[in-house]
Structure 1
Amino acid sequence: MQPIQHLGAKLWLHHVSKLTKRLRQTPNARHFQFKSVLVFTVQWFRLGGRRYSLLNAALGFTKGIMKINIRNADIKDAHSIALVHVTSWAQAYDGLLPKSFIESYNIERRQKLWSNTLSDNLASVLVAEMGNEIVGFLSYRKPRGEQSNNSIELNSLYVAPGLFGCGVGSDLFDYFEKRMLNSSYTQIVLWALDTNQIALNFYLKHGFCETGLQGKERLDGTILNDLQMVKSIKA
């Protein structure tokens, strides 16, 4: 780590530490530990008449100090990817998926999944690092079933819970899209839960639209409806 980056990390942690004392008293706030760093869920609160999300308040000034680095994932990243996946999954789908289903995907299960994915090249995976910690990931592959040879499927994009809304997801997607622009693919497809409005808004903001295709599945007595979305990346 370069000296200025090390200084940035120290300033970041110092800033978060100071905010922690104030934010722990915020009503309805939930806090999560991500490795050695305290991060926060996306809970809205008002401070000085302004509206903030907890980690946006903590990290708002760090974008120019803490550089987000995006790279290809390696097998040694499986545990860190699993940690982001489990914590982000639990936060994003709380109240949208059966609790028993969410809790069934623990760190060990996710680590095995990503170890197999990376070792067997079942998908391409990108990770986002901040201060040498993996704070987000994106995976993509050729679509299964009857799909155009010109399509690539974005099958997962997750960010550490406290970093929701801080631009990490957008950085990952922009990096991925630029890579696809230099490929033979002409469109990106994905599936999103119809009740996951945060995800739907994110993809709409990034130029996706619904195709009209839907997929249904039943989990613990709950019927889930997935929507297919597509983005053309070449004329």
Structure 2
Amino acid sequence: MAHMSVRSARESDAAGIAAVHVQAWREAYAHLMPAAFLSSLDTERREAGWKSIIDDEITDVFVALDGEKVIGWASAGAGRDSSSPAARELEGIYVIAAAYGSGAGQQLLDAAVGDDAAYLWMAENNPRAEAFYRRNRFERDGMVKTESFGGASVHVVRLTR
């Protein structure tokens, strides 16, 4: 990475966040979701959604940049679950594979939830992500659910700290 930094997202980052969102899903979930579903992901639709999220003043969104290019993002806010185990939920965090090992993921996590008590939902069969979360003191708490994406059922587990 030439010059990696992390900051709060701006509406002008929405296209970059959407591009990372789609690319990171394709890279991280190829073993969990149908290829047709992953190839159908639409960055333009996601861009509109990200503009709305960035502007909503409910969700905190952060971007990791390599120079001016978005290489990762994280979002966090008040827990969305009715029985939240912590006041803060890491709603999403993704870094493109080319930026693995750059420190972008750690800086995004630090910006989004710091060292505070928090929780997140993670695809159950995601060893790279789970190792990252464990290094940051997140542990499975026994809560599980099934999400449906593109016709595939994905088991997700909750991690807390």
TM-score of the aligned structures, taking structure 1 as reference length: 0.63
User: Partner of 2:39 in structure 1?
Assistant: 103
Superposition CA RMSD, Å: 2.0
- Which one of 150, 155, 163 corresponds to residue 99 of structure 2? 163
Counting only pairs closer than 5 Å after superposition, residues 2-81 of structure 1 correspond to structure 2 as 66-81=2-17
Identity over aligned pairs, percent: 30
TM-score of the aligned structures, taking structure 2 as reference length: 0.89
Change in Cα spacing, 1:190 to 1:148, as seen in structure 2 (3 Å) is closer
Task: Extract unaligned runs of 5+ from structure 1.
Answer: 1-58, 60-65
Change in Cα spacing, 1:222 to 1:176, as seen in structure 2 (3 Å) is closer
Change in Cα spacing, 1:177 to 1:220, as seen in structure 2 (3 Å) is closer
User: Partner of 2:154 in structure 1?
Assistant: 224
Whose relative contact order is higher, 1 or 2, with alpha carbons under 8 Å and at least 6 apart? Answer: 2
Please say if 1:90 is aligned against 2:35: no
Please say if 1:188 is aligned against 2:118: yes
Q: Is the 8 A contact 2:6 2:104 kept in 1?
A: no
Q: Partners in 2 of 1:168 and 1:143 — Cα distance?
A: 24
Q: Which amino acid aligns with 1:105?
A: L
Q: Partners in 2 of 1:219 and 1:75 — Cα distance?
A: 27
Q: Which 4+ residue blocks in structure 1 deviate beyond 6 angstroms?
A: none
User: Partner of 1:114 in structure 2?
Assistant: 50
- 1:136 to partner: Cα distance: 1.2
Q: Partners in 1 of 2:149 and 2:5 — Cα distance?
A: 37
- Which one of 141, 149, 159 corresponds to residue 211 of structure 1? 141
Q: Which amino acid aligns with 2:134?
A: L
SS of 2:61 mapped into structure 1: strand
Task: Extract unaligned runs of 5+ from structure 2.
Answer: none
- 1:102 to partner: Cα distance: 1.8
